[in-house]
Amino acid sequence: MSHPVTEERPVEHGDALNAIRAAVAEAPGPEAAAQRAVDLLRDRFAHYDWIGIYWVDGEELELGPWIGPQPTEHTRIRLGTGICGAAAASGQTQIVADVDADPRYLACFTSTRSEIVVPIFSEGDVVGEIDIDGEELEAFGETDARFLEEVAALLAPLRPRA
């Protein structure tokens, strides 16, 4: 007997997507909604050590809501620069297993070992991205990528200048 191939979404990802959807619906405005989304991700996923949303502003990325142990000095990043700029310029999710082995990496925190950056699209254009730093090597995989791409779709309507 053949079974259709169904992609299983981990329960915690479905729950988190529902919580983000609810937060977006209930927040008083887009910035509060985006902040709530990063807070929820941080609360629910122990390997998401620093989480920020960058929004595209002309030729640069500008840091929006973030949560983590410390602020980053990289509040504006040129498109094409760093792993963040690469994700925005290419529209491709970037998973970096070992930041020290990636020459594109722009260092923010000495504790960071790995990173994932997921573009946020609106009408086919990259309008922002989710950037997550991990303190473990190889903290992120394809399951995180697929999940965060769904989160990105929920965040797209929250961009400034929308």
Indicate which single residue of 31, 39, 60, 105 sits in contact with ligand SME (rule: CB under 6 A): 105
3-state secondary structure of 126: strand
Query: Is 144 a residue that touches ligand SME (CB under 6 A)?
Result: no
The total number of residues shown for the chain amounts to 162
Selected from 52, 65, 128, 134, the binder of ligand SME by CB under 6 A is 52
Q: Which residues of 110-124 are buried (b: 16+ CB within 10 A; e: fewer)?
A: eebbbbbbbbbeeee
Among 49, 115, 129, 144, binds ligand SME (CB under 6 A): 115
Q: Which is nearer to ligand SME, 7 or 59 (CB)?
A: 59
Residues in a beta bridge with 51: 67, 132
For residue 38 the two structure tokens come to 């990063």
Residues forming the site for ligand SME (CB under 6 A): 52, 72, 74, 77, 82-84, 105-106, 108, 115, 131, 133
